[in-house]
C-alpha cells in the first residue's frame, strides 16, 4: 500500500512539473512572439523554464537511482 501511494505521489509531482514546464514554455513563446522577452514576463518565463528543466532533470536522476 505504501509503495503504491508513493508512486501516485511521484506521478502527481511529475505531472505538475510537466504542466508547469509547458505553461512556462508557452508563456516564453508568446512573449517572444510579441517581442516582450526582455520585459518582466519574459524574465519570469525564462526563470520558470530553467527551473522546470532543472527540477525535471533532478527527478529523472532520482528515479534512475535505485
Residues 6+ apart with CB under 8 A from 51: none
| pLDDT beneath 50, residues of the chain | 1-3, 5
**Residue 18 within any structural domain of the chain:** no
Tell me, yes or no, if the pTM score tops 0.85.
Answer: no
**Residue 59 within any structural domain of the chain:** yes
- Number of domains observed in the structure of the chain: 1
In this predicted structure, what is the pLDDT of residue 2?
47
**Residue 66 within any structural domain of the chain:** yes
Q: Which domain, by its residues, includes 47? A: 25-66
**Residue 45 within any structural domain of the chain:** yes
**Residue 33 within any structural domain of the chain:** yes
In this predicted structure, what is the pLDDT of residue 37?
57
Amino acid at each position: 500500500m505504501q509503495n503504491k501511494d508513493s508512486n501516485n505521489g511521484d506521478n502527481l509531482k511529475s505531472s505538475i512539473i510537466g504542466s508547469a514546464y509547458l505553461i512556462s514554455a508557452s508563456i516564453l513563446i508568446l512573449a517572444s512572439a510579441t517581442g516582450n522577452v526582455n520585459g518582466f514576463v519574459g524574465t519570469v518565463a525564462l526563470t520558470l523554464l530553467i527551473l522546470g528543466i532543472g527540477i525535471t532533470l533532478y527527478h529523472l536522476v532520482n528515479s534512475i537511482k535505485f
